[in-house]
Structure 1
Amino acid sequence: MGTHTNQVVMITGASRGLGRALTLAFAQGGAKLAICARGQEELQQVAQEAERLGAEILAIRADAAKPSDIERFVSTTEAHFGQIDVLINNASIIGPSPIPYLLDYPEEDFAEVIRVNTIGPFLMTKRVLPGMLQRRKGSVINVTSEAGNTGYAGWGAYGISKFGVEGMTQTFADEVGEAGVRVNMVDPSEMNTQMHALAVPDCDYELAEPEDVVDVFLYLASDESSAINGQRFEARQFLEERGR
């Protein structure tokens, strides 16, 4: 796995689950980190863990789908580190729990899931891209889901929001690929997280741990994947192909 020394990596929704696991994995790889989440206390705990691993880290409480928060998060990061090399759009919400069928899905809840999960990554990417395009280098990694590729009963607005993320990933990739910037997506598979527990409360099958799926993100952030753009990666398949 390529080294990430001095690479500036920005991760949204970093206070728990996959975001936390990614923060610590990149910290171990020597990256400089900018992380955000809506919960201040958990965010600070993750920042302290990353610092203990030797990372320089900027932790900012922010809603990664709110334009004023995005501007504050990104401009502070650019001022502090000088640039952003990697953006991982990880922040998302599941919506109401238990998840209602679409026929009963409240409109305001549907709109909120789309705001956080689809509009958020759009606004984050839109704000970070100009700096990447100027340097003709950068990697944007969006987090998707199996439910963003196939419509499943009972996954509600969450799955639909990830369908949006997948289309957006392909569109951004097609628009910026010629300029040296790449935009890809990862389906980390179903993981043992608080969010999954809300989505599948009576889960009776084995789940991946967030720490098990970080390698594909490390790969997509590295120079090793510099020619890869607009692709969808499944974390488990990636590990199997690499013989992990």
Structure 2
Amino acid sequence: MPRLNGKNILVTGASQGLGRQLALTFAHEGAIGLSLIARHLGPLQKVRDEVGEISKRTNVLAVEADVGKISDIERLVATTLDAFGGRLDVVVNNASTIGSAPMPFLLDYPLEDFQNVMNTNLIGPFLIIKNILPAMVENGGSIINVTSDAGATGYPGWGAYGISKFGLEGLSQTWAAELEETGVRVNWVDPGNMTDMCA
């Protein structure tokens, strides 16, 4: 039996790279519902179509949303829960942005750009978990936050991104400790160096 048979799953940053591959794998492994989130609808619809070729029984949502914006987070959570009858089993916080390019040293980092990176990479996952948690506690579930080796070691020029990933690891550990008695698991994973990882 497929490992994710009957599960409802939300994936942010799902239009390319790791997020896209996770969506395809989850469909292959039996997910009954997939809520795919990304900032641009066109590429996301292509992933939705790819999922449909793998599994005709999977209910696939393609939700255009920016996880760096509170109003978008509230909307994507409401849309997902409405489509899945209020039940969600897995959340993958994969969406990420590197920020300014070329990436400046912290001394020269524009404040607005720094805040944008934090909003997408750290505040966004925090708010998604906070908003969606009531739907997961009743049946248990799994939250997976995608981190980076830049969140374990400080690299010159990777300032805002690295700091956000350090924060995401801390956020994950704290959620895991606070939710220990609820049946909701919180893990973080560093997939290593990848291309097209931001969506």
TM-score, with structure 1 as normaliser: 0.77
The residue aligned with 1:57 is 60
Segments of structure 2 that go 5 or more residues without pairing to the other structure are none
Give 3-state SS (helix, strand or coil) of 2:189's partner.
strand
Q: CA RMSD in A?
A: 1.4
The residue aligned with 2:138 is 134
Residues 136-170 of structure 1: per-residue CA shift (max 9 Å, x gap): x0100000000001111121200000011000000
The residue aligned with 1:148 is 151
Measure the CA separation in 2 of the matches of 1:45 and 1:96. Answer: 27
Q: State the aligned residue count.
A: 194
- What residue identity is the alignment partner of 1:80? A
- What residue identity is the alignment partner of 1:181? V
The residue aligned with 1:222 is none
Residue 27, structure 1, aligned to residue 27, structure 2: yes
Residues 84-122 of structure 1: per-residue CA shift (max 9 Å, x gap): 100000111000111111111111111110011000000
Measure the CA separation in 1 of the matches of 2:34 and 2:190. Answer: 22
Segments of structure 1 that go 5 or more residues without pairing to the other structure are 196-244
Measure the CA separation in 1 of the matches of 2:143 and 2:112. Answer: 29
Residue 172, structure 1, aligned to residue 175, structure 2: yes
Matching of residues 15-164 of structure 1 within 5 Å:
15-31=15-31, 32-54=33-55, 55-82=58-85, 83-135=87-139, 137-164=140-167
- What residue identity is the alignment partner of 2:6? N
- What residue identity is the alignment partner of 1:178? E
Stretches of 4+ aligned residues off by more than 4 angstroms: none
Offset at 1:2?
A: 5.9
Offset at 1:20?
A: 0.6
Measure the CA separation in 1 of the matches of 2:151 and 2:51. Answer: 31
Measure the CA separation in 2 of the matches of 1:53 and 1:36. Answer: 19
Residue 182, structure 1, aligned to residue 197, structure 2: no
Offset at 1:72?
A: 1.6
Give 3-state SS (helix, strand or coil) of 2:188's partner.
strand
The residue aligned with 1:241 is none
Higher relative contact order (CA 8 A, sep 6+): 2
TM-score, with structure 2 as normaliser: 0.93
- What residue identity is the alignment partner of 1:65? G
Identity value in percent? 54
